[in-house]
Amino acid sequence: MTKIRLLPDRVANQIAAGEVIERPAAVVKELVENALDAGATRIEVEFRHGGRALMRVEDNGTGMGRDDALLSLERHATSKIAEAADLDRLASYGFRGEALPSIASVSRFLLQTRAAGNEAGTEVLVNGGKMVHVRDCGRPVGTSIEVTHLFNSVPARRKFLKTDQTEAAHIAQCVRLYALACPGVAFTLVEDGRVSFRSPECATLAERVGEIFGRQTAAALEPIASAESGMQLEGLIGRPGSGRATRHEMIVFVNQRPVDSRTLNYALIESYHESLPKGRYPLAFVFFSCDPAAVDVNVHPAKREVRFRSEPAVRAFVIRSVLQRLREMSGPATAPVRPEAGIRMPETGARSPEPAPTQFPPFSATPPARVTSGPSPAMIPPVAAPQLRVSPPVSGISHPVSMNWRFLAVAHGQYALFETAAGLVLLDRRAAHERVWFERLQDQFRAGTVPSQRLLLPVPVELDPIMAALLLDRLAFLNAHGFEIGEFGRNFFRIEAVPGWMEPGDAEPFLRDLLGAFREGRVPDRNTDLAREELARLAAAKAVRLPATAGEAELQGLVAQLFATRAPLTSPAGRPTFIEWSHGELDRRFQR
């Protein structure tokens, strides 16, 4: 008896839906791509309850006749390609012919369409993969597709959907992504009966970026245009020193298709290696164009990833183009980039080929007296008023510090060198200050005594839909930790008060970085203690502002404060606060 059988079309369509339709935003993506392939110059997207109740995409494209409308619901039926060789010269977004039958198999699917020259349009209703009716209808030229009760026939899939607010944010982000890809197409987005985004046809990409991401983001961008050996790079990139904490505003398009490309992303990051601090990502909205035969878009079910035939050549071209544009922005002599507050710049100087000094257990050679006196407020670098009071020293210090450390010098403004009975110690000033601030802020967060300062002029912040949804979900948490943030419109907020440790000018970039940490899951949502710890870690980096010079009294005070903390050996990020060379290590290095 044979065990192999052909699957019914309905089952095959539901399997395909599992690959192509991950969430409501994937439905909108497929329908918007079909509208663009049909030559639409106006697209309207409407949804309700995060796409669970309704999704409707209407366009003014070429439309379809009755035969084409029925055929579009068959698997692998498409007008985009006819043979395998067409995959090497794709000029459309869609080409597999799986989207419409897959969507229709897991929802209530209503298609209305009319082609130019036809007196009447065609209406097709499919419920859970079963044809309900086909009849004439009246409508203008173009196509309208309405999807309701998504995943009604597969209720297990509905359990994996997020909240309505999260799903709505993903739909809005998807629409804005294709609005970026096609500035010449007018887009309208209607959420729960309210217009949340409307953009007419834009003459330039900069205009569309300003409408989607806000004028603040658009003002930090410069145009780029480069061509070489059949490859072309166009778009907008951020100025040197203007970066983000996440990659979510580093968007790349390949032949007008929005994709996630490691090759292009890493090329952009590498290009900004000397223009941005370590851990920051560039602002970029770039369009890479090449021969369709040189790129494979058929490597991912949702067409999010692409593969280049010659990735090294693409990477080198993008790096050369971006570096050249950055040099033009910086002028003839590139000025050093000022680090953003609280962020370490990557080291660019020549390194010694010798291995790094071995880190020994601190002060094990000469156990010193225990520090019992509290640190002096004068030892802490000045910060924005009002000044935070110094926390009392922590009792039970497990690593006492020798007060016989003799200060020698400060190297590169960053490292303090001390002589001890056991050898030499090199203290990282920033790491030490971050540890002191981190534990002080932790204590304040835990006690609920965070000083706050109201701003004379509130700071406006315009966010994309996903970031705005994240902020709305966490407004209570932020307002309980020194901030005062209010909603001032759709995706628009005002920062009216900031914690006492923060400079008002740092409020907007810090909020964007914090939301990026929420978006990437680095700040837990359900564990308040862990969320406070991560907030204190991010805040400590912002609170530290090293003065250009440091005297012996300040550095000795810093050492005392460091060893009054619970974990003096490392910074909040896990870096060592100091390293020690013993006499034996020094003798070995000098071959004595």
Buried b (16+ CB within 10 A) or exposed e, 489-527: eebebbbbbbbbbbebebbbbbbbbbbbbbbeeebeeee
Class of residue 285 by CB neighbours under 10 A (exposed 0-12, middle 13-18, buried 19+) = buried
Same domain membership, residue 569 and residue 518: yes
Same domain membership, residue 502 and residue 386: yes
Cite the beta strand spans of 94-176 per DSSP E: 108-114, 121-127, 130-137, 142-148
Say if residues 321 and 290 touch (Cβ distance below 8 Å): no
Same domain membership, residue 368 and residue 284: no
Q: What distance in Å separates the CA atoms of residue 26 and residue 151, rounded to the nearest whole number?
A: 13
Same domain membership, residue 224 and residue 174: no
Domain count across the chain: 3
Say if residues 125 and 133 touch (Cβ distance below 8 Å): yes
Say if residues 58 and 143 touch (Cβ distance below 8 Å): yes
Kindly give, in sequence order, each residue whose CB lies less than 8 Å from that of residue 537, ignoring residues fewer than 6 positions away: 438, 572, 573
Same domain membership, residue 228 and residue 82: no
Within a domain: 193: yes
Class of residue 539 by CB neighbours under 10 A (exposed 0-12, middle 13-18, buried 19+) = buried
Same domain membership, residue 529 and residue 442: yes
Domain C-terminal end among 330, 349, 381: 330
Same domain membership, residue 511 and residue 370: yes
Cα–Cα distances in angstroms (integers) from residue 281 to residues 131, 244, 247, 275, 390, in the given order = 49, 5, 6, 10, 34
What per-residue confidence (pLDDT) applies to 242?
83
Same domain membership, residue 83 and residue 33: yes
Q: What distance in Å separates the CA atoms of residue 180 and residue 407, rounded to the nearest whole number?
A: 57
Within a domain: 1: no
Same domain membership, residue 427 and residue 394: yes
If we measure between CA atoms, which residue out of 165, 175, 141, 161 comes closest to residue 31?
Answer: 175
Within a domain: 2: no
What per-residue confidence (pLDDT) applies to 529?
81
What per-residue confidence (pLDDT) applies to 385?
35
Domain C-terminal end among 151, 185, 201: 201
Within a domain: 26: yes
CATH number at residue 96: 3.30.565.10
Within a domain: 132: yes
What per-residue confidence (pLDDT) applies to 525?
66
If we measure between CA atoms, which residue out of 516, 520, 480, 512 comes closest to residue 493?
Answer: 512
Same domain membership, residue 315 and residue 216: yes
Tokens, residue 277: 């601090």
Domain C-terminal end among 201, 223, 254: 201
What per-residue confidence (pLDDT) applies to 547?
73
* DSSP result, 188-234: EEEETTEEEEEE---SSHHHHHHHHH-HHHHHTEEEEEEEETTEEEE
| Residue at token pair 């794709």 | 90
* Boundaries of domain holding 241: 207-330
Within a domain: 237: yes
If we measure between CA atoms, which residue out of 378, 368, 342, 365 comes closest to residue 561?
Answer: 378
What per-residue confidence (pLDDT) applies to 32?
94
Per-residue pLDDT for the chain (592 aa), expressed as one digit of tens each?
556 666 676 666 665 555 668 889 999 999 999 999 999 999 999 999 999 899 999 999 999 999 999 988 887 777 766 666 666 667 778 766 778 888 998 899 999 999 998 999 999 999 988 899 999 999 999 999 999 998 877 777 788 888 887 888 889 889 989 999 999 999 999 999 888 888 888 888 998 988 888 777 888 899 999 999 889 999 999 988 888 888 888 999 999 989 988 899 999 999 998 888 877 889 999 999 998 888 888 777 667 788 898 999 999 999 999 999 998 987 654 444 444 433 333 333 333 333 333 333 333 333 333 333 333 333 333 333 333 333 333 333 334 444 578 888 888 888 888 888 888 989 998 889 889 988 888 888 888 888 888 888 899 888 877 788 788 888 888 888 889 998 887 778 999 999 888 888 888 888 888 888 887 777 776 677 888 888 888 888 877 777 767 788 888 888 888 888 888 888 888 888 898 888 888 888 888 8
Within a domain: 348: no
C-alpha gyration radius of the chain: 29
CATH number at residue 285: 3.30.230.10
Cis upstream peptide for 375 (omega within 30°): no
